[in-house]
Amino acid sequence: MKRWDVLVEVSPRSEIADPAGTTVERALRALGFSGVTGVRIGKAIRLEVAAADEADARTVTEQMCERLLANPVIEDARIELRAAVAPESSW
């Protein structure tokens, strides 16, 4: 088994309202950052997965997203994988 560093970014689907993102966007404009648009607030989850190869690591991570890490009805999950280079993650 090989260890994989995994980053899962979960964000609201584009058709779902994001009140936190709207609030931050307004606040940034109030602070003078007029060029900011499309703010979306989500979450980042970092973990390590033991798997035979990258495809297996992705499959396991997708299953985690479907069952716990993201709500597939209202959220999208983006997965990044890389081979672990040290015993501890170094994102």
At the top level of CATH, which class does the domain 2-83 belong to? alpha beta
pLDDT at position 67: 97
The domain limits of the chain are: 2-83
85: pLDDT confidence band, cut at 50, 70 and 90? confident
State pTM to two decimals: 0.83
The β-bridge partners of 45 are 8
**Residue 3: other Cβ atoms inside 10 A:** 16
Q: pLDDT of 43-70, one tens digit each?
A: 999 999 999 999 999 999 999 999 999 9
Separation CA 42–CA 8 (nearest Å): 10
